[in-house]
Each structure stands twice: as structure tokens, then as C-alpha cells.
A and B are shown apart, each in its own frame.
Chain A
Amino acid sequence: MPAEIIDGRKISADIREELKQRVEKLKGKGVTPGLIAILVGEDPGSLSYLRGIAKGCEALGIFTETAKLPENVTQEELEKKIEELNKDPKCHGIILQLPLPKHLNTLRAESAISPEKDVDGTNPVNTGKLLLGEETFLPSTPSGVQQLLVRSGNPPEKKHVVICGRSNIVGKPLMGILVQKQTGANATVTVCHTGTKDLPAITKQADILVAAMGKAKAITADMVKEGTVVIDVGVNQIKDPETGKFKLVGDVDFDAVKDKAGAITPVPGGTGPVTTTMLMANTIKAAEEITKS
């Protein structure tokens, strides 16, 4: 039986409907949630990503702006800008678009973002809180994966989740989220990596398999158990051998795996749309927190 396709666009739209109502409530109290992105340089990929976020924010009624800094900005100037936004009352959430140029210290910059406005969850204090199960902002990609699972009717509770890839933005925080003793989590989680010797032996154990290795077609059909829920976080640009055109594919060999999986996310249209939505959700949460206190 072919797999159920988990429709990230549809789930994302559902979440945005809920978010709209929360924005209206905030506006009723005179608060417009605001998200400000810091972009160093003019990387076209980053610009197009931020345009997507801006569009989504506008549709929800979130104020948004990109603070553009020149490629050769100094660390001090960058941190000054962050400090300014930390104090800016119309800014509830700050995102620092990565990668930064090589002369800048990413970690120091991320640590400078006020934890209360750190809607990408990159400040190490928030990473710690996430792992400890304390209230914080969950980074948007792993948080989106959790939403996809829960909202597609495949909750991770009591399931064996195998995560391939242990980056600081996906694999590790996802493990941190899914092991918590909380609703929508409570899973038994294994983290492995591309260097793992017998990767198929581990991936075949999975009830839920998350691919986040950044390698096209790294997960093949023989690595997947019949009925597994497969979440593909990978985004890789490859050249189509027939048309010669570039296209986006995930880390999973979609066409082959979909015949074995119980459910699967496509690329594009799977984890991507939900990721940006979670960033908006965090911005609204930040604005709600400030209104509360």
C-alpha cells in the first residue's frame, strides 16, 4: 500500500489559521507582534528565505523587517545591532540569518540575542532549557517536525524515533524535544550519523525515521521497515539528469521509500513550510509573554 503523504503545506496552513486568531487577540490589547531578521551581506538564498518569512508574517499580521548589515560589518557592530533590537519594544523576536561571513563569531552573536527574543532558539541558554524540559523557544525545524508528527496522526509517544544526523539545528534539538516527559514527545530516541557503520541496522528499527543528513537520497528503501513514518528534513539541490534542470530533493529516496513507508513527507512541501510557520508561532508566543508580564 502506498504511503500516506504528510502534507506540510496543509498542516502549515492549519497552524497559521490558529496563529491568526492569536495575533488578533494581541492586537486587541494594542500589541502587534514583531519579528526582525538580521542579514549580513546579500546572499541570494538568504534573501529569498527571508522574503518568504516576510510574506508569511504579513499575511498573519506580524510586523516584520530585515536589518541589513554590510558583508564587512565588525563583530562589535553586529552585537550593537543585536543589543539595539533586544531593547526595541516593537521587536519581539530576533532571527540572525546564517551563515555569517567567516570573520564573525556566530556563537558569540547568537549568545548576544536576549533569551526572551530568541525565537530561533539558538542562544545556548535556551538550548539548555530545551534539554532540561523547561519553558523556552523550540528551534523551528525540529519543532516543525514534532507538529508534523502530531498533526498527521503519528504522535511520537512510546515510539522508537531514529534521527539520522546530529546537527545543532536539527538532530540534537529534535532529540531534546522528543525525549521529554511531555505530550507530543515521550519517545525512545536514537541519534545516529552518516558515519555510523551499520546504519540500515539502526534505521530499520525505527517506527519514525527522521532524515537530516544533508545528503540526497541517503535513505534508500532497503533502510526502511515496512510501515515506518518517514520525515525528510533534507533540502538538496540536484541536477535532473534528463532535463538538466536543478531541482530540490530531500535526504530520502522518495519514490522508492514511499512504497514501503506508512507515511512520508515530500520535498518540497513537507517540513519546509512548517518550519517558517513555527518561527511565526514563536514570535507570537514572545509577544504574548511580554504582554503577560
Chain B
Amino acid sequence: MATTILDGRKLSSEIRGELKERASKLKEKGVTPGLGGILVGEDPGSVTYVGLKSKACEEVGIKEEVIRLPENVTEEELLNNIGRLNQDPKIHGIFIQLPLPKHLLEEKALAAILPEKDVDGFHPLSVGKAWLGQSTFFPAVVIAIHEMLTRYGYDPKDKEVVIVNVDNMVGKPLASLLVQDKEKAKANVTLCYPTTPELASYTRRADIFIVSVNRPKFITADMVKEGAVVMDFGSNWLEDPVTKKRKTVGDVDFEAVKEKAEAITPVPGGVGPMLVTMLLVNTVQAAEMQSGVK
């Protein structure tokens, strides 16, 4: 039986196509979706990532404004800038590129974003509403995984979902989406630490298995049930022993696990390419909600 490869690049470009249409509908009504971003310092990873977001916004028809602040910016200045974006009616969504330099409290900065514009879904109010099953924004990785599952026909309803990751950015918000008593949710969800004793006894029960621990080949074939859907959100640099070139791999021993899985995400090309697109989905949705246009 051929394993389905969950193609994040393909899906991402499909979704961007849909977003383009929604953005142009908004424009017909005089609303250009706007995304405001804050980048502190010049961390190369962050700079690259913000660049990807800008390019994607342009492709879809979202107006983007990135405020670049120096590494040594004070908390007050940072909060003032967040406040400025909060008040700007042309900005419908706001992101703060993480990590922030150590002298700034991420918790405080994230909580300063207006919840209606919190398209990263990190504000405590957004997190709480999500957990309570109310309408709100979910972090990009959460909707990325959920969209990949459902668009490929893997409805999590009544499935056993095992997530190896208990972080605020991945495991907890994913559980939050999947346990709700709603369509395309209503799963039995288990949150495991990578250090959970006898981890394999949990993972082998999973119909849908999601992992994000950033350890190459952490998930081996014996940890996976025959026919499982495997979502790998790990990203690790490995040197190829033959070519000596560095390459990106996930947390799953892809070659071995794909023989057992019903469907699997590759790394790269799986969840990763979906992330920026999901931020755009939230931004367009924020614009629709704030302008009352749909």
C-alpha cells in the first residue's frame, strides 16, 4: 500500500490561492487586509523568517508593515510600538517575532497585543478562549496541522491523537483545538513529554501521531502503529555521512516509518511551509471580522 505523503508545499499554495480571492473580495469593499509585525534586533533566523512573511503577504494581497527596533530597545518603546499597531485601523493582525532579547519579557509583550488582532494566538485571552471552545485565533502550527489532517481526509473525530510535546506553542494549543466538542475535533487526546516513561506504549496507540521534540530519528518504526497518520514538526540539522552536506531532517525516522504509516509529513516540505500561510489565514480572517465583510 502506498503511503500518502502530506505535501505542505502543495497545500500551502492551494490555501494561498483561496486567500487571494478572499483578499480581493475585501478590497472590492475598500478593505485591504493589514498585518503589522515587530522585529527586535537582527537575529539572522528571525530576519529571514520576517522576510518570508513579507513575501507571502505580497503574494496574497495583504499590506504588511514591519517595525524594526534595535536590539537594545526598552520595554516602554516596545510597548508603545505595539500600542501604535493596536490603534492603527489599517492593521488587522499583529505579530511579534520571537524570541525577543533577554531583557524584554515576551509574556508582557504578547499580552499587550489587542486580542482582536492577536493573529499568532499567544495572548492569554486567546489561549483561554481556545481552551474554553470559544471563537479565537489559534497559533499557526496548530491550524497548519489541523488543515493538513482534514484536507487530506483525516478527520480527528473519535480518533486517538497522541502528541509528543507539551509546550505552549505546540502541544497545549493543539490539544486545545482537538478536544473540543466540535466538528473536526472531538478526539481523545494524550499529551506526552519526550521523557514520558514507556513513551512507545502511548505512541503505538495513536491513530494520529504528532511529534515536535527536535531530536533526529527520535521516533522509530517500532513506536508507530500500522496505519497511523504521522505529523512531524521537528526540524534538525544533520550532516550527511556520505556527502558531508548539511540537511534538515525531522524527529521521525522517515524512511522506516513511512512503510508503516498510512500518511506522513516529510521534513522539509511538511508542516513547515504551511506556517506562514496560516498566519495569513488568520490575518485575512481578522480583516473580515473587523470590517464585517465576508
**Residues of chain A whose beta carbon lies under 8 Å from any beta carbon of chain B:** 107, 123-134, 158, 160, 166, 168, 172, 175-176, 179, 181, 186, 188-193, 195-197, 202, 205
Contacts and interface: CB of A to CB of B under 8 A. Distances in A.
A192 to B, nearest CB: 4
Contacts of B133: 168
A172 B181 CA distance: 12
Interface string B142-169: 0000000000000000101000001010
Interface stretch (B57-65, B88-96, B192-200): B192-200
B190 A124 contact: no
A168 B188 contact: no
Given A128-B124, A158-B196, A133 B132 contact: no
A274 B185 CA distance: 32
A128 B131 contact: yes
A205 B192 CA distance: 14
A124 B166 contact: no
B172 A124 contact: no
13 contacts: A124-B132, A124-B134, A126-B128, A131-B168, A131-B172, A134-B107, A172-B131, A172-B179, A175-B175, A176-B172, A181-B166, A188-B191, A202-B188
A131 B179 CA distance: 14
Looking at chain A's contact residues, the main secondary structure is mixed
Given A191-B179, A195-B158, A196-B158, A128 B196 contact: no
Interface residues of B, number: 35
Contacts of B9: none
Nearest to A202: B188
Contacts of A131: 127-128, 131, 168, 172, 176
B215 interface: no
Contacts of A179: 166, 171-172, 191
B186 interface: yes
Nearest to A180: B166
A126 B134 CA distance: 14
B101 to A, nearest CB: 21
Nearest to A133: B168
Nearest to A126: B128
A125 B168 CA distance: 15
Contacts of B193: 186, 188
Nearest to B199: A188
A129 B124 contact: yes
Nearest to A181: B166
A213 B126 CA distance: 26
Specify which of B124, B130, B175, B196 lies most central, judged by the most chain A CB atoms within 10 Å of its CB.
B124
Looking at chain B's contact residues, the main secondary structure is mixed
Nearest to A171: B179
B260 interface: no
Contacts of A205: 201, 205
B117 interface: no
B25 interface: no
A125 B124 contact: yes
Contacts of A190: 188-191
A125 B188 contact: no
A78 B129 CA distance: 22
Given A107-B134, A124-B125, A132-B127, 20 more contacts: A124-B129, A125-B125, A125-B128, A127-B127, A128-B126, A128-B127, A128-B129, A132-B124, A132-B168, A133-B168, A158-B196, A168-B132, A168-B133, A175-B179, A179-B171, A179-B191, A186-B193, A191-B179, A193-B181, A197-B158
Given A166-B179, A193-B181, A127 B131 contact: yes
Interface in B103-138: 107, 123-134
Contact of B188 (A128, A129, A160, A196): A196
B202 interface: yes
Contacts of B130: 128
A175 B180 CA distance: 13
Interface string B4-48: 000000000000000000000000000000000000000000000
A53 B280 CA distance: 49
Contacts of A160: 202
Contacts of A107: 134
A-B complex: 6 closest residue pairs judged by Cβ atoms: A128-B128, A128-B124, A127-B128, A128-B127, A124-B128, A190-B190
A133 B166 CA distance: 11
Contacts of A123: 128
Specify which of A132, A175, A186, A202 lies most central, judged by the most chain B CB atoms within 10 Å of its CB.
A132
A128 B107 contact: no
A131 B130 CA distance: 10
A190 B176 CA distance: 12
Nearest to B110: A132
Contacts of B124: 125-126, 128-129, 132, 134
Specify which of A125, A160, A188, A205 lies most central, judged by the most chain B CB atoms within 10 Å of its CB.
A188
A179 B158 CA distance: 22
A252 B189 CA distance: 22
B239 to A, nearest CB: 32
A190 to B, nearest CB: 4
Nearest to A136: B124
B188 A191 contact: yes
A25 to B, nearest CB: 29
